[in-house]
């Protein structure tokens, strides 16, 4: 350690722990809370086919330190595996793929525990309570749809999030099953969208501050004038505006630009006036929650509370009561950096913080009274920190309404129920990759139809398009299935697609089917790795309950280098 002769180095202080050092770059994204959630996770990968995407996904989760993972895979390592899976080596040949990949993945992080399960899926999956140890399940295609249905039944009963993955040639697709209500408070919105300053509904302490800071502006010295916080400037000129407009506030776009001109007249070039002018359009908005947030606060789960309702819904109910009483959400309390003297800025920060604390205290009181009225047990007392966090992010909460995985039936055209109309619209949207999704459903239908009895053959009895030499015939079959699905979607949706659009759709899906068939079920390492990155990222969001996960199906086109998310 460096130290000079004439000074004693200060003692090392608050130095991060070894773990904080190792995870520093990710802790800056999801914090200690997110990390703890990862460490309490046990992920199960049900691996099939070439099985690369699932293993690449796990790599991206073992590195940031999930608690445990298990790989269920009864396959034995073949030479073809070595050309596509990085977590196998020449010594792995002939051994169980599950055991070998677990061993090499575990080398990435000594903090993570891995387990291999080599029992065949069809005998394993039917066991009682077999899914209980796991917090999240990854299922790699191809597999017998009957087994997928069994797994699906288990994960839905336990409300365990599950992913169903495909990676074939240049294309990939994955779907996410989440419980019917998956709420998120820490959505990490874009910082530029979060300022909520209530300039149209200022409270007395804020008005008083503005009055003080703008009193006799014309007599201030230049230094003082240049450091009036823009928030105070806007409030000052709003009063001037109101005096000239029968007490009305500028609400229309045109009024706001006129108001901006009024502010500009105060000074043509001072930086604080620049800041005020730049903020006019963005900050002079009524503090009304978005329709999405209103919908969440009024969801049946929030309205019909029970003694065991999750904390999220109890707090949502309390916040809705707050909103009904005050016509606004609790104040988040953050102030953006602005030109001001240090003490003035701190003073302003404290005004916002104090109001935020008062708002939060009122919500906490409502939560406590709800708890009492609901007869919640002492063990379920909601942490005040959780309420505070909710109050801060109330304008940006998010809810995913999870839907079950799509499982095909052999020799049956897949239909999409209440999502049919949506999908029909997507068919004619030039930006949409819905055709790639439909081709993957067709791929599953092909596999389902060509599967021999699972009892004797297991996953080895699956035949994927293009596995044999005549991949062109399989491409045609796949195209035929896709066309049937498209026709059924259009018909069920009660719409009509005219030519040439209709023929173009069919031609486009035909090309995708050629690509899927020529791969013959092969994974390309790059596409598997990219998809493993996407899936791992979604898993991190689901486990940490931070940021916003997909809802609910993602496709990736490695030829056009594009992704697309569909709600199926």
Partner 1 sequence: MAVNGDSRARWRYMDHILTRPGAYTDPEWGEGIIGTLENAKVLVIGAGGLGCEILKNLALSGFKSIDVIDMDTIDVSNLNRQFLFRQSDVGKPKASVAADFVMKRVPGCKINAHVCKIQDKDEEFYMQFSMVICGLDSIEARRWINALLVGMVDYDNDDSLKPLIDGGTEGFKGQSRVVIPRMTSCIECQLDMHAPRAAVPLCTLATIPRQPQHCIEWAHIIKWEEERKDIQLDTDDPEHITWLYRTALKRAQEFGIQGVTYSMTQGVVKNIIPAIASTNAIIAASCCNEAFKIATSSAPALANTIPEGVDPETYDPDEEFAPAPNNYMLYTGDNSIYTFTFGHKKKPDCPVCGNLPKDLTVPGDQTLQELIESFAERPEAQLKKPSLSTGGKTLFFSSPESLRQQTEGNLRKKMRDLMEDGEEVVVTDPAFPTEFKYTIHLT
- Residue choice 1, 8, 157, 243 for contact with partner 1 (CB under 8 A): 1
Give the nearest distance from C-beta 132 to partner 1 in angstroms: 27
**Can you point out the beta strands (E) in 390-495?**
398-400
Nearer to partner 1, 309 or 434 (CB): 434
Region 279-338 residues binding partner 1, contact defined as CB under 8 A:
337-338
Nearer to partner 1, 122 or 515 (CB): 515
Could you tell me if 407 and 148 are in contact, meaning their C-beta atoms sit under 8 angstroms apart? yes
Give the nearest distance from C-beta 99 to partner 1 in angstroms: 15
Region 343-402 residues binding partner 1, contact defined as CB under 8 A:
343, 345-346
Nearer to partner 1, 232 or 340 (CB): 340
Give the nearest distance from C-beta 334 to partner 1 in angstroms: 12
Nearer to partner 1, 147 or 486 (CB): 486
CA dist 276 and 560 (Å) reads 44
Nearer to partner 1, 367 or 516 (CB): 516
Sign of CA dihedral 461, 466, 471, 472: positive
Question: Is 195 a residue that touches partner 1 (CB under 8 A)?
Answer: no
Residues 6 or more apart whose CB falls under 8 angstroms from that of 4 comprise none
Could you tell me which stretch among 142-150, 376-384, 436-444, 559-567 binds partner 1 (CB under 8 A)? Answer: 559-567
Region 503-542 residues binding partner 1, contact defined as CB under 8 A:
510-512, 514-515, 518-520, 522-527, 529-530, 532-534, 536-538, 540
For residue 336 the two structure tokens come to: 């953006």
CA dist 55 and 78 (Å) reads 16
CA dist 441 and 409 (Å) reads 11
Question: Is 561 a residue that touches partner 1 (CB under 8 A)?
Answer: yes
Instruction: DSSP for 389-417, please give it.
Output: HHHHHGGG-EEE---PPP---TTS----G
Could you tell me which stretch among 3-11, 125-133, 153-161, 488-496 binds partner 1 (CB under 8 A)? Answer: 3-11
The interaxial angle of helices 204-214 and 230-244, nearest 10 deg, is 100
- Residue choice 118, 321, 389, 563 for contact with partner 1 (CB under 8 A): 563
CA dist 54 and 46 (Å) reads 8
- Residue choice 8, 10, 219, 243 for contact with partner 1 (CB under 8 A): 10
How many angstroms separate the Cα of 75 from the Cα of each of 255, 280, 532?
70, 63, 20
CA dist 510 and 42 (Å) reads 40
Nearer to partner 1, 93 or 158 (CB): 93
Give the nearest distance from C-beta 444 to partner 1 in angstroms: 19
Strand-pairing partners, residue 173, are 166, 555
Site string for partner 1, 452-471 (x = CB under 8 A): --------------x----x
Give the nearest distance from C-beta 343 to partner 1 in angstroms: 7
Give the nearest distance from C-beta 14 to partner 1 in angstroms: 4
- Residue choice 108, 205, 361, 413 for contact with partner 1 (CB under 8 A): 108
Could you tell me if 171 and 199 are in contact, meaning their C-beta atoms sit under 8 angstroms apart? no
Give the nearest distance from C-beta 517 to partner 1 in angstroms: 9
Question: DSSP character for 141?
Answer: S
Could you tell me if 167 and 523 are in contact, meaning their C-beta atoms sit under 8 angstroms apart? yes
Strand-pairing partners, residue 470, are none
Region 142-181 residues binding partner 1, contact defined as CB under 8 A:
169-170
For residue 535 the two structure tokens come to: 């899936």
Nearer to partner 1, 152 or 538 (CB): 538
Question: Is 548 a residue that touches partner 1 (CB under 8 A)?
Answer: yes
Nearer to partner 1, 98 or 168 (CB): 168
CA dist 71 and 54 (Å) reads 9
Nearer to partner 1, 363 or 512 (CB): 512
**Can you point out the beta strands (E) in 374-438?**
398-400
Give the nearest distance from C-beta 546 to partner 1 in angstroms: 9
Nearer to partner 1, 63 or 205 (CB): 63
Site string for partner 1, 470-499 (x = CB under 8 A): -x----------------------------
Region 211-230 residues binding partner 1, contact defined as CB under 8 A:
227
CA dist 252 and 245 (Å) reads 13
- Give the DSSP H/E element, type plus range, for residue 225: helix 222-226
Question: Is 192 a residue that touches partner 1 (CB under 8 A)?
Answer: no
φ, ψ of residue 562 in degrees (nearest 5): -140, 150
- Residue choice 33, 36, 40, 80 for contact with partner 1 (CB under 8 A): 80
For residue 329 the two structure tokens come to: 């959400």
Residue labelled with tokens 């108001």: 259
Q: How many CB atoms lie within 10 A of CB 417?
A: 9
Region 33-72 residues binding partner 1, contact defined as CB under 8 A:
50, 56, 59-60, 63-65
Residues that bind partner 1 (rule: CB under 8 A) add up to a total of 97
Question: Is 551 a residue that touches partner 1 (CB under 8 A)?
Answer: yes
3-class SS of residue 523: strand
**Can you point out the beta strands (E) in 6-161?**
42-46, 68-72, 113-117, 136-140
In degrees, rounded to 5, the angle at the alpha carbon of residue 142 between the alpha carbons of residues 140 and 144 is 115
Question: DSSP character for 96?
Answer: B
Give the nearest distance from C-beta 468 to partner 1 in angstroms: 11
Nearer to partner 1, 119 or 501 (CB): 501
CA dist 392 and 356 (Å) reads 8
Give the nearest distance from C-beta 316 to partner 1 in angstroms: 21
Question: DSSP character for 85?
Answer: -
Give the nearest distance from C-beta 247 to partner 1 in angstroms: 34
């Amino acid at each position: 350690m460096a130290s000079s002769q004439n000074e004693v180095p200060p003692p090392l202080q608050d130095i991060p722990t070894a773990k904080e050092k190792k995870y520093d770059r990710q802790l800056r994204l999801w914090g200690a809370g997110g990390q703890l959630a990862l460490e309490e996770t046990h992920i199960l990968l049900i691996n099939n086919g070439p099985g690369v995407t699932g293993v690449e996904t796990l790599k991206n989760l073992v590195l940031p330190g999930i608690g445990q993972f298990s790989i269920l895979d009864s396959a034995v390592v073949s030479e073809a595996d070595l050309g596509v899976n990085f977590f196998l080596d020449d010594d792995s040949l002939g051994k169980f793929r599950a055991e070998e990949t677990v061993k090499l993945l575990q080398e990435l992080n000594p903090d993570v525990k891995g387990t291999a399960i080599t029992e065949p899926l069809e005998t394993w999956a039917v066991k009682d309570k077999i899914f209980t140890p796991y917090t999240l399940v990854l299922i790699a295609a191809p597999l017998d749809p009957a087994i997928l249905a069994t797994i699906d039944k288990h994960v839905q009963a336990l409300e365990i999030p599950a992913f169903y993955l495909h990676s074939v040639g240049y294309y990939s697709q994955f779907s996410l099953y989440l419980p019917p209500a998956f709420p998120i408070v820490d959505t990490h919105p874009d910082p530029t969208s979060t300022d909520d300053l209530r300039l149209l509904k200022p409270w007395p302490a804020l008005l008083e501050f503005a009055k003080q800071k703008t009193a006799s502006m014309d007599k201030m010295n230049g230094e003082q004038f240049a450091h009036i916080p823009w928030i105070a400037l806007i409030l000052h000129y709003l009063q001037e505006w109101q005096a000239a407009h029968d007490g009305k506030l500028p609400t229309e776009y045109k009024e706001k630009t006129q108001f901006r001109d009024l502010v500009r007249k105060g000074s043509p070039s001072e930086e604080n006036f620049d800041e005020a002018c730049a903020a006019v359009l963005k900050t002079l908005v009524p503090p009304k929650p978005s329709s999405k947030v209103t919908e969440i606060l009024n969801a049946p789960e929030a309205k019909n509370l029970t003694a065991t309702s999750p904390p999220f819904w109890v707090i949502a109910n309390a916040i809705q009561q707050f909103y009904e009483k005050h016509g606004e959400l609790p104040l988040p309390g953050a102030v953006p950096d602005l030109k001001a003297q240090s003490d003035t800025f701190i003073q302003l920060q404290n005004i916002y913080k104090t109001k935020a604390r008062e708002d939060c205290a009122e919500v906490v009181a409502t939560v406590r009274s709800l708890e009492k009225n609901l007869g919640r047990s002492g063990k379920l007392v909601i942490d005040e920190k959780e309420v505070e966090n909710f109050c801060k992010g109330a304008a940006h909460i998010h809810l995913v309404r999870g839907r079950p995985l799509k499982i095909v039936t052999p020799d049956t055209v897949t239909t999409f129920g209440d999502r049919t109309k949506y999908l029909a619209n997507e068919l004619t949207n030039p930006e949409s990759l819905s055709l790639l999704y439909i081709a993957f459903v067709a791929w599953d239908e092909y596999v389902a139809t060509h599967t021999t009895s699972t009892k004797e053959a297991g996953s080895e009895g699956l035949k994927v398009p293009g596995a044999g030499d005549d991949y062109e015939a399989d491409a045609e079959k796949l195209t035929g299935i896709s066309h049937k699905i498209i026709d059924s979607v259009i018909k069920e949706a009660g719409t009509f697609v005219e030519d040439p659009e209709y023929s173009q759709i069919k031609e486009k899906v035909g090309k995708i089917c050629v690509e899927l068939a020529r791969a013959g079920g092969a994974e390309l390492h790059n596409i598997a790795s990219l998809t493993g990155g996407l899936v791992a990222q979604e898993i991190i969001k689901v486990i940490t309950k931070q940021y916003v996960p997909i809802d609910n199906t993602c496709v990736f086109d490695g030829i056009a280098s594009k992704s697309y998310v569909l709600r199926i």
